[in-house]
A = this chain, B = another copy of it.
Amino acid sequence: MGDYDYRNIDDVIHSRVRLAIMSYLMSAKEADFTELKKALRVSDGNLSTHLSKLEGTGYVSQEKKFVGKKPQTLVSLSPTGEEAFRHYLEGLAAMIGTQQ
């Protein structure tokens, strides 16, 4: 039997949109806000809210800059975020692992 204590699942990562953000960044390492928005098919507001939450725990960082006259926000996965994501996957595997 697995470990069914739900507290082992990091809620900051588990929320569906944040899980999608973190999964995307685990592959891409960094992504432009617009690129993320398209990949996840979420609204600006929704993405901003979840990125702020992930920034608050230090899992991602956001850097605003200009490319020519266009403002751009670059979102990067931090080492803390990468570690937290790997830990999250372990907790998830311990819970659902026997079915996979």
**Oligomer copy total:** 2
Return chain B residues, CB-CB under 8 Å to A24.
Answer: 1-2, 4
Q: Residues 78-100 of chain A: 1 if any B CB is under 8 Å from the residue's CB, otherwise 0? A: 00000001100100010110111
* A40, B9: Cα distance in complex, Å: 12
B96 lies within 8 A of A89 (CB): yes
26 example contacts (A-B, Cβ-Cβ < 8 A) are as follows A1-B24, A2-B23, A4-B20, A4-B23, A4-B39, A4-B40, A5-B20, A5-B40, A6-B17, A6-B19, A7-B41, A9-B16, A11-B16, A14-B14, A14-B16, A19-B95, A23-B95, A23-B98, A26-B98, A26-B99, A27-B98, A27-B99, A85-B99, A86-B99, A89-B100, A93-B100
